[in-house]
Amino acid sequence: MEVRLITIDDAARLSKFYEANETHLQAWEPSKSEGHHSEAAWKARLQEWCSPVEGVNSFHFISIEPSSDEIVATCSLTNVVQGPFRACYMGYAVDHRYEGRGVMKALCQRVIDYAFTDLSLNRVMANYMPRNDRSAMLLKSLGFVKEGEAKRYLKINGVWEDHILTSLLNPAS
């Protein structure tokens, strides 16, 4: 699999990925407005995300299947904070056809390496709903440690959902 930062040219691929996985991801993501994953909406979002701006606070990666040139997984570092905190949140999604094949773990590991090496972060945080066994297993396999539980943490599909809070600390810090 090819792993890289997204570019403005990925709008059509991202639109296709999210439209193909809408039902699969719906249980784990906040409700989206009509057209949120259209190619035009992705182009606008990518214009903002990929513009060279001082103080960038998010980095978005994709994993592409070389034979089809399709996105099969995404992983993002968001709310990146420098200074004494040096931390971020990690979020991810995998195409339903690639679940259980190691694609998500490989992508997340590359993104974690980027966070710790390229960004010199001390902490990466990732949160999941208690019923999301796949996320729990993924994060545990990556070395994340449970730090607590947050009641009514995020509104997912119109319902306030509890989340398990986890983190991974940079071993070099």
Q: What is the pLDDT of residues 107-147, one digit of tens each?
A: 999 999 999 999 999 999 999 999 999 999 999 999 999 99
- What distance in Å separates the CA atoms of residue 78 and residue 34, rounded to the nearest whole number? 23
Who has greater pLDDT, 52 or 75? 75
pLDDT for position 117: 96
Q: What domains sit in the chain, N to C, each tagged with a CATH number?
A: 2-122 (3.40.630.30)
Pinpoint the alpha helices (H) of 50-161: 103-113, 133-141
Cβ–Cβ < 8 Å for 74, 62: yes
pLDDT computed for residue 1 by the predictor: 83
User: 31 pLDDT exceeds 80?
Assistant: no
Minimum mean pLDDT range among 26-35, 38-47, 123-132, 157-166: 26-35
Joined together, the tokens standing for residue 97 give 């056809």
Residues 4-22 have pLDDT tens digits of 999 999 999 999 998 888 8
Phi, psi of 120 (to 5 degrees): 55, 40
